[in-house]
Structure 1
């Protein structure tokens, strides 16, 4: 049975996000689109069942895929700007046969920044939640038609644990060549460290060995948790026990999602789901009857 929350979000659950912004006091956060990926429902979330997906069909597009937006989060404080994650970059791949990922394409992040009125030169640092290819795309690939890395001037902030265990990422498409390109610009960060005005690191390991979330506080009493790939789809708010097939530690990632769903139900807390179709900002809403939480978009 489809919930009222799913009905109210309509087609937003089945399309990638455009540019969306929220003001948190003196800090503005903006989703910066780069592209879109198709995720196989049961291939990506292998402990889910056909029966469960029948109840959550609102999350699937006409081809039966979950729609995963690709991009980054721009954090602006006055004239200063931080980017959290750097998209997939200027590349695309068709759907393979029977794999967990369907078609995937990127390449619009620089254009999206320009529409917001920012250039790569404005970005003082890029904070990476984790080193998977759809989060570091513009850090190792040059801008089309050039040999220039658009964020070569900026520190690349990666958790100490993620960088320490970077060898584990080779099975996820991170080649030694990519790592060599990134290494001169890497600055490792630690749990609780403030990396930008009002932005702190919060380790959230499980999806990768050093996965990090970033907590943004803007001075109006609200905070935003940019939780990276701790969740890939709003349906994981309903089913935090569903771990992704690529999670490094499925049990640990599920435990973190349960805690995260509780945090996101607080009235002063907003979540940012980088892959959450066209509902990237939201909170976990509970109906008061003891049932599971659902994702409620926040648009202001």
Structure 2
């Protein structure tokens, strides 16, 4: 179990599951095995010997000393995900691993989700002994960016296809098209996510909607990073003069650090996603900003440094004397 310290904050990664090797092949189209093998720093943490990219799903517990915040909530157990069955009906040890990290369900004060795709929200709820969906973290506010939540709910009313087999007006959730380009299926799955994951939290009065770039707790704030979804937000942590940045799907895989222009096939706006990554990486390269990737395997985190015409991720912290101070914010394209 990996932990990091940023000032007075303790950050702990809680693993949910590895993503089956090959399942996401082609999601970043340019990242062919031949190309990936050309970046020697990808192996063994982020790619295998064959050049296939490696991914997993995990959450971060951020213990500020005053509050305990969970960032991204994985797939959850027993959820209905007909469009992505590999992530549905799971029975993982996530809650046991959370306990092993020193945190019970009742200890979590707030849950933040970078965006509302199914592999980032599932543990917002769980089944109780009677089979009912209840909030997993009974004392936690579920703090979501309002625009992202409204994007999600808007997908529950999607149009049929136009007769050509191409979905019309499926909203802006193109990650679904990477798996199944069908508006009705997307609408039905979104309704299931609402019913099984968010409605129990709403019924308990624990949902809190906040504006873009909101500070959620002292030193913990959302940072707008649109592109993967229109209102995607990463999470920035600041304590004691040190900083960290949890990417969500703003940076899906470290190959996008090497080549920030390579966007996911599931991005809502590939151009915006690439432009915002470039701006972010330029702002933090050579600084002490710790970058933690929600789907990064291996070391799972590191510091961005320039590498030819791109960047790379290293676990070696830049020397304080030569490191630049990371900008507090960077300009995003919406």
The TM-score bracket by the shorter chain reads 0.7 to 0.9
Cα RMSD of the aligned pairs, angstroms, is: 2.9
Q: Which structure's residues are more often strand, by fraction?
A: 1
C-alpha distance after superposition, 1:79-108 (max 9, x if no partner):
520101111112599xxxxx9x89656723
Structure 2 distance, partners of 1:115, 1:276, is 21
What's the offset of the Cα at 1:68?
1.3
Could you tell me which residue of structure 2 aligns to residue 31 of structure 1?
Answer: 13
Which secondary structure state, in structure 1, belongs to the residue aligned with residue 16 of structure 2?
Answer: strand
TM-score, scaled to structure 1: 0.80
Structure 1 distance, partners of 2:224, 2:237, is 14
Instruction: Tell me, yes or no, if structure 1 residue 52 matches structure 2 residue 35.
Output: yes
Which secondary structure state, in structure 2, belongs to the residue aligned with residue 162 of structure 1?
Answer: helix
Which secondary structure state, in structure 2, belongs to the residue aligned with residue 200 of structure 1?
Answer: strand
- Structure 2 residue runs without a partner (length 5+): 157-172, 177-185, 318-334
Could you tell me which residue of structure 2 aligns to residue 85 of structure 1?
Answer: 72
Of structures 1 and 2, the one with the larger relative CO (CA 8 A, separation 6+) is 1
Structure 2 distance, partners of 1:143, 1:226, is 30
Change (3 A) 1:67 1:279: same
Could you tell me which residue of structure 1 aligns to residue 149 of structure 2?
Answer: 163
Which secondary structure state, in structure 2, belongs to the residue aligned with residue 129 of structure 1?
Answer: coil
Could you tell me which residue of structure 2 aligns to residue 182 of structure 1?
Answer: 198
Structure 2 distance, partners of 1:278, 1:50, is 18
Alignment of structure 1 residues 209-228 onto 2, 5 Å: 209-219=230-240, 221-228=241-248
Could you tell me which residue of structure 2 aligns to residue 292 of structure 1?
Answer: 310
Aligned length: 273
TM-score, scaled to structure 2: 0.73
Structure 2 distance, partners of 1:188, 1:129, is 13
Which secondary structure state, in structure 2, belongs to the residue aligned with residue 293 of structure 1?
Answer: strand
- Structure 1 residue runs without a partner (length 5+): 1-18, 94-98
C-alpha distance after superposition, 1:26-84 (max 9, x if no partner):
11111111111135565111244454234247343367642212111111022520101
Which secondary structure state, in structure 2, belongs to the residue aligned with residue 88 of structure 1?
Answer: coil
Larger radius of gyration: 2
Which secondary structure state, in structure 2, belongs to the residue aligned with residue 90 of structure 1?
Answer: coil
Could you tell me which residue of structure 1 aligns to residue 125 of structure 2?
Answer: 140
Instruction: Tell me, yes or no, if structure 1 residue 120 matches structure 2 residue 142.
Output: no
What's the offset of the Cα at 1:256?
1.2
Choose from 222, 225, 230 the match for 1:201: 222
Which secondary structure state, in structure 2, belongs to the residue aligned with residue 44 of structure 1?
Answer: coil
What's the offset of the Cα at 1:23?
1.0
Worse-superposed segment, 21-30 or 180-189: 180-189
